[in-house]
């Protein structure tokens, strides 16, 4: 029951089970033999609501469950002991999980995120006990350093190293912040982790605080994630009651507590210095670095800022050892990465894969290929800071360095798959609209540069592009990249540069007045295919511009001079007789 599951009716399904179980008289043994759990996101959100029925260790998973289907499951499966095979998950549910390797998500979807004992039962807070009772802060940092864990927020800075740098600072107090301001459109890993296993993030933060010697922590989380905020606050409260947070943690002389700060909707606040200003209650505008935030961070004091997924990895590394973690992944990118696989794949959802897996394996083995038998065009990774990787580079391994080589980046973990019906110029424009709107306005290259880039892209998509526009985009992009103050501006041109690099022909086609994917409205013409039109008149009635003429049961016609290209006829035609190019 993450945000996706609840949207699909998870709460209603849970209620239906409660009701039916009561009716069937199973209530008497609810505690002992039959228990009902609600869990966090299990990844395959596209098939929500998912329900597990486990009888004597034999598990059946059902997909697309609605509350009115519950009575049959209770009757046939729970009482008569025959699973309802028609509704059980198919082969693709299993292949979706086969190539995954779950660390951070290993307990997501099996434990109840609103109950601390559920986490403790899967060895939760054992890592904290190990650190506090048997290790020194220095030893803790050494383990994290040796594991090779790198920041999962995008840039991939070595976590252990960051902690060490902060610990070296003499100044007090020191702060530790968890960045849950997941602003990348197309990414929802951090939301799912907090919704599914909030205690792992809290435990990671406490261990981090112990390592760097901090007593105050903050979680900066987007207000757009109400469920995650609620579960996080609940988890912090439970953790405090259990003695893992607060004064004299586990009876030792170590005090640490966490406050939750809600973001107010600014993408740039994902940048470390901007985020800290925002916690202070100011406009979230980045400042030049150095000094880095490990020296001068929140309120000018030494601060460690890590991402949700990074913190969530920490307890698992402490419990299983640095060598175990370092054995997963590639030479320079250790461990796993959580991705939000979305867009045009058959299976979409939250996945966790070992570093070094190829994009092809992710899209075809886990994602099940492209939906509706369309051809894959590109994969967009890294959100507005990343780039589009074309189909012929699908064997690129997914790690920090390899993705940078092909002109994209790991980013926080958004992975949007695009098919042949997506226009790459339109995608570049989409991201530029985003970065341009989210530019904080402090430095000129970003504030004015992204605006000019967007203007050029807009005129290209409207068929008013000029010769030399592509070269102008390239030049301007390189200047913005070199001269911007923070990561937002430096990476904002990436979507343009990567699409020009791999899809230059699409830009050229737009300059000639054609949109090859038939997306850009101004470059389209709608027309009716004679062989499919039976004259039903649906398009004629739907057309708001009265551009369609034709008698009943006879071929209809669209007047291109009157057509406003709204696409209403295209949507309404049941016979696929309206075409566009």
Partner 1 sequence: MEKTLEKILEEHRAREGNIISLLQDIENSFGYLSEDAVSWFSKKLDIPASRFFGVATFYSQFHFKPRGKNIITACCGTACHVKGSERLINGIRKELDLSEEEDTTKDKEFTLEKVNCIGACSIAPVVMINKKVKGKVSADKLLKELRSLKDIKGEGK
Q: Give me the residue label for tokens 């609840």.
A: 6
Q: Which is nearer to partner 1, 396 or 426 (CB)?
A: 426
Nearest approach, Cβ of 127 to partner 1 (angstroms)? 27
Alpha-carbon gap, residue 26 to 22, rounded angstroms: 6
Alpha-carbon gap, residue 74 to 69, rounded angstroms: 9
Residues in contact with 401: Cβ distance below 8 Å, sequence separation at least 6, in sequence order = 332, 333
In 3D, which of 343, 77, 320, 352 has the Cα closest to residue 196? 352
Alpha-carbon gap, residue 312 to 427, rounded angstroms: 32
Q: Please pick, from the candidates 156, 335, 343, 445, the single residue that binds partner 1 as defined by CB under 8 A.
A: 343
Alpha-carbon gap, residue 427 to 359, rounded angstroms: 20
The reply on whether position 350 binds partner 1 by CB under 8 A is: yes
Q: Which is nearer to partner 1, 4 or 329 (CB)?
A: 4
Nearest approach, Cβ of 335 to partner 1 (angstroms)? 23
Nearest approach, Cβ of 261 to partner 1 (angstroms)? 8
Stretch that binds partner 1, among 16-24, 40-48, 168-176, 475-483 (CB under 8 A): 40-48
Alpha-carbon gap, residue 120 to 197, rounded angstroms: 11
Nearest approach, Cβ of 447 to partner 1 (angstroms)? 13
Nearest approach, Cβ of 196 to partner 1 (angstroms)? 13
CB neighbours of residue 134 within 10 Å: 8
Q: Please pick, from the candidates 17, 163, 225, 526, the single residue that binds partner 1 as defined by CB under 8 A.
A: 225
Q: Which of residues 4-33 bind partner 1 (CB under 8 A)?
A: 4, 6-8
The reply on whether position 567 binds partner 1 by CB under 8 A is: yes
The reply on whether position 218 binds partner 1 by CB under 8 A is: no
CB neighbours of residue 552 within 10 Å: 10
Nearest approach, Cβ of 345 to partner 1 (angstroms)? 9
Nearest approach, Cβ of 374 to partner 1 (angstroms)? 12
Q: Please pick, from the candidates 23, 36, 55, 264, the single residue that binds partner 1 as defined by CB under 8 A.
A: 264
Q: Please pick, from the candidates 301, 344, 510, 556, the single residue that binds partner 1 as defined by CB under 8 A.
A: 344
Alpha-carbon gap, residue 224 to 339, rounded angstroms: 20
Alpha-carbon gap, residue 311 to 258, rounded angstroms: 14
Q: Please pick, from the candidates 1, 14, 16, 48, the single residue that binds partner 1 as defined by CB under 8 A.
A: 48
Alpha-carbon gap, residue 117 to 242, rounded angstroms: 10
Q: Beginning with the edge strand found earlier in the chain, give each strand of the sheet holding 175-180 in spatial order.
A: 257-262, 216-221, 175-180, 303-307
Q: Please pick, from the candidates 46, 353, 470, 524, the single residue that binds partner 1 as defined by CB under 8 A.
A: 46
Task: List the beta strands (DSSP E) in 362-427.
Answer: 376-381, 387-390, 414-419
Q: Which is nearer to partner 1, 297 or 329 (CB)?
A: 297
- With b meaning 16 or more CB within 10 Å and e meaning fewer, what string describes 320-353? eebeebeebbbeebbbbbbbbbbbbbbbbbbbbb
Stretch that binds partner 1, among 41-49, 244-252, 457-465, 482-490 (CB under 8 A): 41-49
Distances (CA, A) of 398 to 60, 296, 303, 304, 428: 33, 33, 30, 26, 22
Q: Which is nearer to partner 1, 20 or 438 (CB)?
A: 438
Q: Which is nearer to partner 1, 20 or 195 (CB)?
A: 195
* DSSP notation for 470-485: HHHHHHHHHHHHHH-S
Q: Which is nearer to partner 1, 194 or 476 (CB)?
A: 194
Q: Please pick, from the candidates 571, 575, 576, 581, the single residue that binds partner 1 as defined by CB under 8 A.
A: 571
Q: Which of residues 157-196 bind partner 1 (CB under 8 A)?
A: 182-188, 191
8-state DSSP, 527: E
Alpha-carbon gap, residue 203 to 178, rounded angstroms: 12
Alpha-carbon gap, residue 373 to 359, rounded angstroms: 19
Q: Which of residues 405-464 bind partner 1 (CB under 8 A)?
A: 414, 416, 418, 422, 427, 430-431, 434, 438, 440
Q: Please pick, from the candidates 36, 54, 79, 223, the single residue that binds partner 1 as defined by CB under 8 A.
A: 223
Q: Which is nearer to partner 1, 535 or 567 (CB)?
A: 567
Stretch that binds partner 1, among 63-71, 86-94, 278-286, 456-464 (CB under 8 A): 278-286
Q: Please pick, from the candidates 224, 420, 469, 474, the single residue that binds partner 1 as defined by CB under 8 A.
A: 224
8-state DSSP, 512: T
Stretch that binds partner 1, among 235-243, 326-334, 347-355, 504-512 (CB under 8 A): 347-355
Alpha-carbon gap, residue 207 to 260, rounded angstroms: 18
Under the rule (CB under 8 A), what is the footprint of partner 1?
Answer: 3-4, 6-8, 45-46, 48, 182-188, 191, 223-226, 261-267, 278, 280-285, 340-344, 348-350, 380, 383, 414, 416, 418, 422, 427, 430-431, 434, 438, 440, 566-567, 571
């Amino acid at each position: 029951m993450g945000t996706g599951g609840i949207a699909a009716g998870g709460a209603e399904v849970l209620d239906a089970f409660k009701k039916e179980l009561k009716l069937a008289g199973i209530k008497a043994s609810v505690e002992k033999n039959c228990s009902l759990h609600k869990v966090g996101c299990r990844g395959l959100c596209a098939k929500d609501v998912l329900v597990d029925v486990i009888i004597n260790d034999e598990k059946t998973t059902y997909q697309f469950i609605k509350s009115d289907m519950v009575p049959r499951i209770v009757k046939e499966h729970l009482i008569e002991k025959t699973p309802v095979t028609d509704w059980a998950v198919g082969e693709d549910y299993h292949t979706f999980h086969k190539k995954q390797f779950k660390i951070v998500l290993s307990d997501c979807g099996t434990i109840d995120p609103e109950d601390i004992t559920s986490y403790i039962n899967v060895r939760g807070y054992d890592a904290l006990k190990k650190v506090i009772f048997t290790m020194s802060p220095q030893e803790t940092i050494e383990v994290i350093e040796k594991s090779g864990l790198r920041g999962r927020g995008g840039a991939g800075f070595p976590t252990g190293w960051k902690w060490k740098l902060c610990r070296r600072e003499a100044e007090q107090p020191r702060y530790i912040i968890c960045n849950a301001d997941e602003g990348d459109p197309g990414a929802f890993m951090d939301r799912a982790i907090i919704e599914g296993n909030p205690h792992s993030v809290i435990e990671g933060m406490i261990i981090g605080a112990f390592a760097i010697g901090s007593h105050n922590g903050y979680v900066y989380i987007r207000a757009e994630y109400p469920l995650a905020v609620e579960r996080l606050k609940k988890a912090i409260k439970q953790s405090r009651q259990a003695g893992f947070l607060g004064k004299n943690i586990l009876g030792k002389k170590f005090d640490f507590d966490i406050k939750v700060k809600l973001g107010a909707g600014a993408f740039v606040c994902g940048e470390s210095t901007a985020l800290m200003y925002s916690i202070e209650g100011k406009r979230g505008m980045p400042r030049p670095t150095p000094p880095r935030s490990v020296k001068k961070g929140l309120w000018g004091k030494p601060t460690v800022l890590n991402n949700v997924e990074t913190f969530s990895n920490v307890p698992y590394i402490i419990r299983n050892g640095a060598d175990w973690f370092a054995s997963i992944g590639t030479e320079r990118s250790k461990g796993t990465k959580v991705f939000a696989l979305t867009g045009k794949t058959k299976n979409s959802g939250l996945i966790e894969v070992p570093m070094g897996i190829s994009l092809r394996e992710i899209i075809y083995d886990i994602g099940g290929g492209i939906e509706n038998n369309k051809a894959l065009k590109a994969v967009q990774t890294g959100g507005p800071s990343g780039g589009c990787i074309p189909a012929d580079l699908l064997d690129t391994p997914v790690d920090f360095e390899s993705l940078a080589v092909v002109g994209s980046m790991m980013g926080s973990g958004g992975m949007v798959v695009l098919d042949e019906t997506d226009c790459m110029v339109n995608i570049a424009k989409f991201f530029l609209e985003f970065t341009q709107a989210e530019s904080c306005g402090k430095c000129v290259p970003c504030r004015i540069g992204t605006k000019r880039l967007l203007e050029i892209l807009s005129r290209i998509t409207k068929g008013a592009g000029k010769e030399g526009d592509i070269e102008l985009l390239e030049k301007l992009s390189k200047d913005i990249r070199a001269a911007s103050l923070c990561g937002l501006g430096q990476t904002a041109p990436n979507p343009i540069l990567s699409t020009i690099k791999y899809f230059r022909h699409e830009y050229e086609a737009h300059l000639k007045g054609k949109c090859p994917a038939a997306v850009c409205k101004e470059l389209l013409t709608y027309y009716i295919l004679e062989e499919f039109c039976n004259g039903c008149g649906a398009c004629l009635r739907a057309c708001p511009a009265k551009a369609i003429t034709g008698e009943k049961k006879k071929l209809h016609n669209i007047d291109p001079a009157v057509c406003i290209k709204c696409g209403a006829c295209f949507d309404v035609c049941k016979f696929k007789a309206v075409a566009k190019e």
